[in-house]
Amino acid sequence: MDDITLSREMSAVEKDVTAILEANVETGFHLNTAKCEITMEDFSEIGSSSVFANFVRVEKSETTLLGAPVIKCRAQDRAITDKTE
């Protein structure tokens, strides 16, 4: 497994990430939190969550999934520009 995407309420995603981290010994799956991204409109909602402390924060308008823009925004404009150049 190389890529995973989780999307739900923040508390649910936090529980899912915690479960993945805690299952490391049994699964052999290592989550590199320094390469993980979190996308939100308001990053203040994260508060003091230690789970997301090392995640890369990505503005909603810059969000891509496996290189493809997720919503019509700056990421989409940049993707089109990159392709046409």
Tens of pLDDT, residue by residue over 10-58, are 899 999 999 999 998 999 888 888 899 999 888 888 888 899 999 999 9
Q: How far apart are CA 61 and CA 48, in angstroms?
A: 24
pLDDT value at position 46?
86
Q: Whole-model pTM?
A: 0.75
Q: How far apart are CA 35 and CA 43, in angstroms?
A: 17
Q: How far apart are CA 48 and CA 50, in angstroms?
A: 6
